[in-house]
Amino acid sequence: DAGVIQSPRHEVTEMGQEVTLRCKPISGHDYLFWYRQTMMRGLELLIYFNNNVPIDDSGMPEDRFSAKMPNASFSTLKIQPSEPRDSAVYFCASSLANWGGGSEQFFGPGTRLTVL
Amino acid sequence: TQLLEQSPQFLSIQEGENLTVYCNSSSVFSSLQWYRQEPGEGPVLLVTVVTGGEVKKLKRLTFQFGDARKDSSLHITAAQPGDTGLYLCAGAVAGGGADGLTFGKGTHLIIQP
């Protein structure tokens, strides 16, 4: 298996532009997670899906952020409009069904977003 | 939300030295995971500990889960440059669903040759 695939790997955009990050989870995994990582705040969970259904989006910073999972093999995280404070590395991860807390999460390589 | 505090935040030592990093919380976890993240990559799971007092060894790495399941430590013996990376601990709460996995901010480890 190729693992979790994310695209693009790097994105540089200007403030106010729309940004779309893409993720292909590992085939057969039930859970998909979107994280944001910065030096100041560490790894923050933004939203996660179970069987393509959003379960908890309480980590999404504000209405400018949205995520979708139209099918089991694809998810997007969209920021519109983007702001400089959104600059971070965004990770997608997937895992098998949770066995009561703490199934191994498999992370993609991340998308480094820079908003100028 | 359960908070996990990792210490030290940064550590730079010479090759061959021993080191211990810590992961502490006031909350009880059903299990605790350690991940390692290398520059430009996502975190990769090293180990999961589930029983209070449990000790697991992975070559030169020794992981321990506290008796009360509130804390954990990672000890590296004879550190090598290949051990350089960000070490993250993540605690899980039984029945908490996927959002029961809370990550600490990590320890940035540099092993100098």
Q: Does residue B103 belong to the interface with chain A, where contact is any CB pair within 8 Å? A: yes
pLDDT tens for B55-87 read 999 999 999 999 999 999 999 999 999 999 999
Alpha helices in A1-116 (DSSP H): none
A71 contact partners, CB below 8 Å, separation of at least 6: A52
pLDDT at B30: 86
B98: left (phi over 0), alpha (psi -120 to 50) or beta: alpha
pLDDT of residue B97 exceeding 80, the answer is: no
CA distance A6 to chain B (A): 11
Q: What is the pLDDT of residue B96?
A: 52
Chain A residues whose C-beta is within 8 A of a chain B C-beta are 4, 31, 33, 41-43, 45, 48, 50, 55-56, 91, 93, 95, 98, 100-105, 107-110
**Distance in angstroms (rounded) separating the CA atoms of residues A98 and A61:** 25
Whether the CB of B75 is below 8 Å from some CB of chain A: the reply is: no
Residue B54: which of B64, B62, B46 has the closest Cα?
B64
Dist CA B100 CA B104 (whole Å): 13
Q: What's the CA gap between B96 and B83, in Å, rounded? A: 32
What residues of A are in contact with residue B40 (Cβ under 8 Å)?
109-110
Beta bridge partners of A10: A112
Strand duo A65-71 + B5-7: pairing = unpaired
> Which of A31, A105, A112 to probe the B interface (max B CBs under 10 A)?
A105
Give the pLDDT score at B2: 56
> Is residue A91 a contact partner of residue A43, using CB atoms and an 8 Å limit?
yes
Give the mean pLDDT of chain A: 92
**pLDDT given for residue B94 in this prediction:** 62
Angle at B79 between CA B92 and CA B59, to 5 degrees: 60
Tell me which residue of A116, A91, A86 sits closest to A105, measured CA to CA.
A91
The mean pLDDT value for A14-19 works out to 98
Chain B residue with CA closest to A93: the answer is: B42
Which residues neighbour B59 within 8 Å (Cβ) at sequence distance 6 or greater? none
Give me the total of CB pairs closer than 8 Å, taking one residue from chain A and one from chain B: 73
Q: Residue A4: pLDDT above 70? A: yes
pLDDT of residue A102: 62
Q: Which residue in chain B has the smallest CA separation from A104? A: B45
| Span A10-18, average pLDDT | 97
How close, in Å, is residue B84 to chain A by CA atoms?
17
State yes or no: pLDDT of B104 exceeds 80: yes
Q: Tens digits of per-residue pLDDT, B36-50?
A: 999 999 999 999 998
Rounded-to-integer distance, Cα B101 and Cα B33, Å: 9
Quick check: B30 and A108 CB within 8 A? no
| A57-103: pLDDT as tens digits | 988 988 999 999 999 999 999 999 999 999 999 999 999 876 555 67
The average pLDDT across A9-16 equals 97
Tell me the C-alpha to C-alpha distance, in Å, between residue B77 and each of B11, B49, B83, B111. Answer: 15, 19, 10, 12
Residue A1's pLDDT is 64
Q: Are B7 and B106 in contact (CB under 8 A)?
A: no
